[in-house]
Amino acid sequence: MLKLNLGCGYNKLDGYINVDYDPNCSPDVVANLETKLPFDNSSVDEIVLNHVLEHLGQQTDVFLNIIKEFYRILKNNGELKIAVPHHNHENFHHDPTHCRKITPVTIDMFNQHRNKHTIESGGQETTLGYQCNVDIEVLQVAYDCDTDMSNHNMQEIIDMSNTYGNVCSQVRINAIIHKPPRYHNC
């Protein structure tokens, strides 16, 4: 089973190939995540991105190519596990290297089932799964909150974190890869 910890920095994971651009952190593999990754097509079972994706792809075409590259190397039913700072938390805003907000919807816009629904319903959401010829479905989302939110349901937590700052510090998104894409080939 091949598992990658991309953008590992100094946070290595046992059982994973730890990949980073900076050789100073002694990764197993030195690679630029904004270019072609040194892994074969459909060879990877799992990718972990822990506070990495918000640093990548300042230009939209670069970001889309990063997603396509993840899709290329992941197997059918491969897992994409993403943790990012919540876009409305001061930790997101303080870091000058954060170049892109990542939300669960950002990732699920690469879901061709969602794209099909958008088209059939006359929606205006960008059909990124169709456009990039990838199919990535968000299966699970969790919010790590700064305070006890046990008295609130998930929708209330989402609404509060999108309205007020510093409610949730990070968002964890687990997605699965569908190969071939379920509905559309460009």
CB-based contacts of 175, cutoff 8 Å, min separation 6: 79, 80, 81, 82, 107, 108, 136, 137, 138, 139
* pLDDT score, position 185: 56
State pTM to two decimals: 0.93
Instruction: Pick one of 3.40.50.150, 1.10.3720.10, 3.30.70.360, 3.40.50.300 as the CATH number of 3-177.
Output: 3.40.50.150
How confident is the model over 84-140, as pLDDT tens digits? Answer: 999 999 999 899 999 999 999 999 999 999 999 999 999 999 999 999 999 999 999
* pLDDT score, position 184: 64
CB-based contacts of 146, cutoff 8 Å, min separation 6: 89, 166, 167, 168, 169
How confident is the model over 31-69, as pLDDT tens digits? Answer: 999 999 999 999 999 999 999 999 999 999 999 999 999
Integer CA distances (angstroms), 10 to 23, 27, 42, 56, 97, in order: 10, 8, 27, 18, 17
Q: Are 76 and 178 in contact (CB under 8 A)?
A: yes
